[in-house]
Structure formats: C-alpha cells, structure tokens
Chains A and B, each alone.
Chain A
C-alpha cells in the first residue's frame, strides 16, 4: 500500500476547477518534486493531502486513512503529516523554542523539559541551535523557514509537505534552506515538495511530477523527465524556468 494515494481528485473554487482528476501514489521513503506554472494546481494538491483543502471529487488517502472522509480525525492525521509553507507562518508572539514545543506539548502531551530538549535537537539539525530564545522577527527569512522545518520535524511526521518553501526568500538565503531539506531527505523522510528549484529537484527527488491545467501532465524519474520531456508543455515550462 502506498503511503499517499490520490485518486481522481477534483477541487473547485466556485466555477474554477483547480484540480481536474488528479491521481498520484507516493511510496514510503519517496521524494516527489512537483513542478508547474503558477495556477497549475500544485500547491492545492499538496494542501489536499493533509486536509487543508476540502475536495469536491475523488479520494485522498494517507496510510490507508481517507483524508476527505468527514469522519476522519484530521487532528490525528496531521500529527503524521508535516507541512512547511511558503510564508513560514511562524507564530510571531512565541519564541523559536515555544514555536517548536507548542504542538508536542499541547497535542502529544510531551512534558516541558522533554519538549525543550526536542526543540534543541531539531534546531541543531537545521543549524540554528543558538536561536532557541530568539523571536521570529529577529531572524532572517531563511532562518525563519528553517525554524518552520524544525517545528514540523519536532512532531516526527511520516510525511512532509513543502509548499514552495524557498519562493519567498532572498536568493542568497535559498541555499541554506535547501541544504536542510537535503539533510531531511537523507534521513529517509517521505517528502512531497512543490518547487521552482529545478536543479534541486533533479538532485534530490526520486520522481518529478509536472502539473498543467489542474492535471498531472507528465511524471517520471527526475533526471529522465527533466532531461527529455515527453510533452511540449513540460518542454516549454522548463525552457522558461531555466531560461
């Protein structure tokens, strides 16, 4: 059984169909890069996986649990599915340490001392061990994004979703964040990442999924798919992003 399974997923905003029959299976340990123009539905698809977007048709399943079933306990599900957003979404009123320990303490009931140690450990992993008592607005964008990754890691998810996490960063800060991503990938985390970093996708992803007009237009092993696009749409897209 695949860890994530999307079947004929349809998502509409009013008259506007954003996902038009998307089917995708992600195996445990797999790293999937999702690319495509803005508006092609890639972020929406990602947000369907942890139930942030209700869908109008098809099914989304995680580890055998149907995410779009109204009876599904999304709270329980989300403890296993981490997501990192383009705009970081750190909690500005909490220190870095408290940003990280909030969910383990509240959702999992981890005691304060242990939660703090957990925060120290995940912060070291993203190279920000000394920032535990800083506040988000004292950090650069790249640092904030690494804290957001650490916050997600602290819940020890089985799957991590990354929604264009380097798109809001200054170019010189992108590298540090990608390095952290690579580190997480090396540890065997199952990852789905929406990205515009084609080079990074080629290097880290096992599989590339190209989305176009709300559909999965083309997919396959990263190097082959990016090296020899089968459809003119992917070719056009690649030549546009790689100039």
Chain B
C-alpha cells in the first residue's frame, strides 16, 4: 500500500543512522585492534611474522566483505553455532577493516626513514621502544588523512550489514521507498544524511593534520 512521504519518515531515517553509527564504531574499534596487530606483524624484524601479516592482508583484501558477513552469520549457523547479528557484524567488519587499516598504518610506519630506527637502536632502545617513542608518533601524523579516508568508506560500507538483518540508514531508505514509492526524494535524503556524517570527519581530519603539523 502506497502512502505519502511524511515528516515521520525523515525521523525514521535519522533514527536508523544510529545503527550506521554503531556499526561504524564497532568496525573501527575492532578494525583498529586487528589493524594495529597487522601493522606490527608487517614491520616486525622477524620474517615469518611479516609473512603472516602479508598473507592476512592479501587474503582479506581479496575477498568481499559480503562473503565475511555471510560466513559469520549464515555459515556458522549451518555448523550449529548460532551467532547474533551483532557478533557476526563485529567479526566480519573487524576482519575487513583490520586488513585495510593494517596496510595503511604499515605504510605510515615504513614512510619513516630507516635512519630513525637506527638512531633509536644506537641509543639502546628496543624494537618496541623505537616503535613507540620514535616511529609511531611520526607515523601517526601521516596516518590521519588515509585513516579518516578509510573511516568514511567504512561508514558507507556499513550498509552491507543489511543482508544480515540490520535496518541501518540505507535499508531504512529502501523500506521507506517501498511504502512511499518516492525513491528520488528518499535516496536524496539518505545521501544527505551520509554526507552529514562524513563531511565533519574530513573537516576534522584536515584540522588535526594542521594542528599536529604546527606542534610537530
């Protein structure tokens, strides 16, 4: 049954943003933990650790996020393990975001000249101390723009979680379209809401970058 697009629909769309945000938060948190481990593996002074990191990145970057969502939600239930959509989403998004963040951060760590590691080593600092006090702080500034760039991608990619039952922004838009048959208006609103989430982030990124640059 088709009804008119109303103000309430807008409120529903805005309310659906909370799932988009929650999914993004979980994905970024889980992805950061995984990504940090991956980045560390990729720069470790121990070849098998680097191979493991490389294998992980290639494996995950070469498979669709959708497949991971299916594996965790439907796949596990086939073998008798029931997982809630939240757990499945958290696992799938952490795995996915971890590979990309890990690769971004590895690049930032490796962009710091080798002579900085050497200077630290020559003063008697251990590998982890060199990383913590010398390399990571310098890499951090480099990491801000690409990390925020990926975060923006992540916000938009949370729409995939609709396949395992999340009614986040895009899915809510679909549902609203189905009942009002006003796709153009509805998706325009959906796009505007995504923009409202993403634009402040990119602004924040350039502000942070400027500020850290001045303070070194």
Specify the main secondary structure of chain B where it touches its partner: helix
Give how many B residues have a beta carbon under 8 Å from the other chain's beta carbons: 18
Counting chain B CB atoms within 10 Å of each CB, which of A78, A81, A93 scores highest?
Answer: A93
Q: In the complex, what residues of B have CB within 8 A of residue A181's CB?
A: none
User: Are A89 and B138 within 8 A (Cβ)?
Assistant: no
B125 proximal to A (CB < 8 A): yes
Chain A residues numbered 118-168 whose CB sits less than 8 Å from any CB in chain B: 135, 137, 151-152, 155
User: Are B124 and A85 within 8 A (Cβ)?
Assistant: no
**Which residue of the partner chain, among A52, A107, A135, contacts B124 with CB atoms under 8 Å?**
A107
B123 proximal to A (CB < 8 A): yes
A36 proximal to B (CB < 8 A): no
Given contacts A52-B118, A89-B116, contact A103 B138 (CB under 8 A): no
User: Are B124 and A91 within 8 A (Cβ)?
Assistant: no
Given contacts A89-B118, A91-B134, contact A155 B216 (CB under 8 A): no
User: Are A155 and B124 within 8 A (Cβ)?
Assistant: yes
A242 proximal to B (CB < 8 A): no
Interface residues on A, range: 20 to 34
Q: In the complex, what residues of A have CB within 8 A of residue B120's CB?
A: 91
What are the interface flags for B15-33 relative to A under an 8 Å C-beta threshold, 1 for contact and 0 otherwise? 0000000000000000000
User: Are A106 and B129 within 8 A (Cβ)?
Assistant: yes
Q: Could you tell me the distance between the alpha carbons of A81 and B116 in the complex, rounded to whole angstroms? A: 17
From residue B119, how far is it (CB to closest CB) to chain A in Å? 4
User: Are B122 and A78 within 8 A (Cβ)?
Assistant: yes
**Which residue of the partner chain, among A52, A81, A102, A151, contacts B133 with CB atoms under 8 Å?**
A102
B8 proximal to A (CB < 8 A): no
User: Are B123 and A103 within 8 A (Cβ)?
Assistant: yes
B165 proximal to A (CB < 8 A): no
Q: Report the nearest A residue to B115, measured CB to CB.
A: A89
Q: Can you sample 17 A-B contacts with CB below 8 Å?
A: A52-B121, A75-B124, A78-B122, A78-B123, A78-B124, A79-B124, A81-B122, A82-B122, A85-B115, A89-B115, A89-B116, A89-B118, A91-B116, A92-B216, A103-B123, A106-B129, A135-B216
